[in-house]
Amino acid sequence: MQSIRELDKLFPILFGAGVERSDDQGPGDNIEEVFQRHYGWTYSAVLVAEHERITLDQAYELPVLQFINDLAYLKMKGKMEKAQFDKLKKNR
């Protein structure tokens, strides 16, 4: 039972605890901030792996400069796509 309680504490989102709050959230934290704090690096690596069309393990092995350039490109691409979407929405 102790092992199960420890797993519940470590992974509250998997075992029924609320998504809105968890023990590691401070006042004013929202789910996006908590996600970024815990999984931001993994999320970034997944994006780069998809962009490069390589495995996640290969993404972790990329040279740092290439990885950062990919992230910069993906961030700018996202901003450009949002601007285009906003422009289309405005012109409707």
pLDDT tens string 48-57: 999 999 999 9
Domain count, the chain: 1
Q: Round to whole Å and give the CA distance between 90 and 84.
A: 10
For residues 19 and 47, the model is more confident at 47
Residues of the domain holding 82: 2-90
Instruction: Give 9-15 contacts, CB < 8 A, sequence gap 24+.
Output: none
Residue 11, helix vs strand vs coil = coil
Regarding pTM above 0.75, the answer is no
Whether the per-residue pLDDT at 25 is higher than 70: the answer is no
> How far apart, in Å, are the Cα atoms of 88 and each of 75, 82, 84?
20, 10, 6
